[in-house]
Amino acid sequence: MKINIQAINFDAGERLQEHITKKANKLTRFFDDIIDVEVHLKVVKPETALNKEVQVKVSAPNIDFFASKVCDTFEEAFDLSLEAVERQIKKHKEKICSK
């Protein structure tokens, strides 16, 4: 599984990248066939408190999972996005198993 982290218009710190990599690697517990995980980090409207946007796209054969969240910190936004992707993966697996 390949993890691609892209920070738009700023440099993501080493601690943030480690956090994202560590959490993203846990996705294999839910779905073995994950090809890659793309994470886009962006600061929107710097004058507001909730200005950190994270978009997570998980690619697997024949299907992609996507979630986007805006929060106060990148870590919180990433964690919430990852939870949304995990729910999508679980729902997809239930759909496949019921057939």
What confidence category does residue 98 fall into, taking pLDDT thresholds of 50, 70 and 90? confident
What's the pLDDT at 14?
94
Q: What is the pLDDT of residue 50?
A: 86
pLDDT per position as a tens digit, 31-88: 888 999 999 999 987 777 788 999 999 999 989 999 999 999 999 999 999 999 999 9
Would you state the CATH architecture of domain 2-97?
Answer: 2-Layer Sandwich (3.30)
Rg of the chain's alpha carbons, rounded to an integer? 14
In whole angstroms, give the CA distance from residue 23 to residue 16: 11
Say what the pLDDT of residue 63 is. Answer: 92
Cα 70 versus chain centre, distance: 12
Q: Where are the domains positioned within the chain?
A: 2-97
